[in-house]
Amino acid sequence: SAAEKDGYDYFMLKEIAEQPKAVADTLLGRIDGSGVLSLDEVRISEEVLREVDKVVIVACGTAYHAGMIAKYAIEHWTRIPCETELASEFRYRDPILDRRTLVIAISQSGETMDTLMALRHAREQGAKVLAICNTNGSTIPRESDAVLYTHAGPEVAVASTKAFLTQLVACYLVALYLAQVRGNKWGDEIRDVVRELAAIGDQVRQVLGTMEPVRELARGLADKNTVLFLGRHVGYPVALEGALKLKELAYMHAEGFAAGELKHGPIALIEDDVPVVVVVPSPRGRSVLHDKIVSNIQEIRARGARTIVIAEEGDEAVVPYADHLVRIPRTPVLLQPMVSAVPLQVFACELATARGNEVDQPRNLAKSVTVE
C-alpha cells in the first residue's frame, strides 16, 4: 500500500532514500568516540582472528559486488590476502581452505542457496565463517560461526540498494576490526577512515538531494539499447553494480568494465552516441589511476561515446570530456563506492520507470533465490 511506501511510488525509491539512516544504524554502537571498534557480536575469538592467514568472501549479485569492494579494503588495512568469489562457483573448484581461513558470507536475505552451500562447504573444510546479513535469525547467520548484522531494515524491492551500502559498511567494520585485533599499524589513515565513515550518511544525503539531473538524463536515454559502465580500483565493482541494476530494472543490455581493460577489447563496442557511465576515482590518493581514466574518457569520447561522468567535487580535469557530469562529495579513496553507487541506483530506477517497467518486481526475478 501507499502507506507502507511512505508516500513514495515504489519501495525502491523509499529504500534509496533510507540509505543515510541505514548507514548510520549499521555504524551505531560499533565505534566509540576514540575510534576503537567493538564488535561483540562477532563471536570468533581475537586469538582465532589473529591467526587468520587468508580471507575468502562469498556472495551473489549485488552482495558479491560489495565483497569485491571489500577485498580492496581488507587487503589494504590488514595485509591479509583476500579473494572474493561468486558463491555459485566456489565449492565446485575445490578451493583451498583450512582453520586459518576466514570466510565471509554476505547476504541480504540470509536465504540465498548458493551462498548457503558455499558456507557449508567452507565449514566442512574447517574454515571459520562470518556472515554479514540483513535478516535476523535467517539460515545463513544460523549456520555461520558468527554474524555481523547490517541494520538496513527490511528491503522489499527486488533490486538491492540500502542493503548494498550497509554491506559495505559492515565489511569495512570487519576490515578495521581485523586490523585492530591484529595490531596492524594503527596509522592516521585508519583513524581518519573511522571518522570519515561516520560522515558517509550525510554525504549520501547530499547526493540524494542533487539527483534531478540524473533522472532527467535517464528519461532521455529510455530508447537506447545498451549502456556501458567503466570504473577502476573500487570503482570497478561499482561499474558492475551499475550495470546489474540496469539489467534488472530497465531490461537493457548493460555491461561494466575495468577501464584498464578497454583497450584489450571492449573499446570496439564504442560507437556513435552509445552512453558510457564512467566512475572516476578520486584525483587524490590514487592520482595515477585518475589520470588514466581521464584519458579513457577522452578516448571513448573521440570515438563518439556519450560520456556520463561521475566525479568528485573539485575534479576539474574531467570537465572538458563530460557530456553529463554528476558530482559526488569527496571521500577517502576506499569509501567512494558508498557515494558513487547512489546515482547509479537512481539512474536505473528512473530508466525502468521511463520504460514502463515494474520497478519493485522486475520480470523473472525473486527477492531471494532459494534454489541453487
Q: Which residues bind ligand AGP (CB under 6 A)?
A: 60-63, 107-109, 112, 115, 158-160, 248, 368-369
Nearer to ligand AGP, 26 or 107 (CB): 107
One-letter amino acid of 133? C
CA angle 304, 309, 313 (to 5 degrees): 150
Number of residue whose CB is nearest ligand AGP: 61
* CB 66, CB 84: distance < 8 Å: no
The smaller minimum CB distance to ligand AGP, of residues 107 and 203, is found at 107
Q: Based on CB atoms, which residue is closest to ligand AGP, 115 or 336? A: 115
Look at the block and give the residue holding cell 508516500.
7
331-to-169, 232, 292, 340, 357 alpha-carbon distances in Å: 14, 16, 20, 10, 34
Question: Considering the complex, what minimum distance in angstroms separates the CB of residue 350 from ligand AGP?
Answer: 16
The set of catalytic residues is 367
- If the CB atoms of residues 95 and 110 are measured against ligand AGP, the closer one turns out to be 110
Least separation in angstroms between residue 299's CB and ligand AGP is: 31
Task: Give the end-to-end CA distance of the chain in Å, rounded to a whole number.
Answer: 32
> Minimum CB separation from ligand AGP for residue 109, in Å?
3
Number of separate helices (H) and strands (E) present in the chain: 13, 10
CA distance 213 to 347: 10
Return the number of the residue (15 or 312) whose C-beta is nearest ligand AGP.
Answer: 15
- Which grid cell is 14? 523509499
* Spatial separation of the C-alpha atoms in residues 277 and 290, rounded to whole Å: 15
- Tell me the closest approach of the beta carbon of residue 85 to ligand AGP, in angstroms: 14
Phi and psi for 370 in degrees, rounded to 5?
-100, 20
DSSP state of 7: T
Residues 213, 225: Cα–Cα separation, whole Å:
21
Q: Which three cell numbers stand for residue 85?
A: 568469489
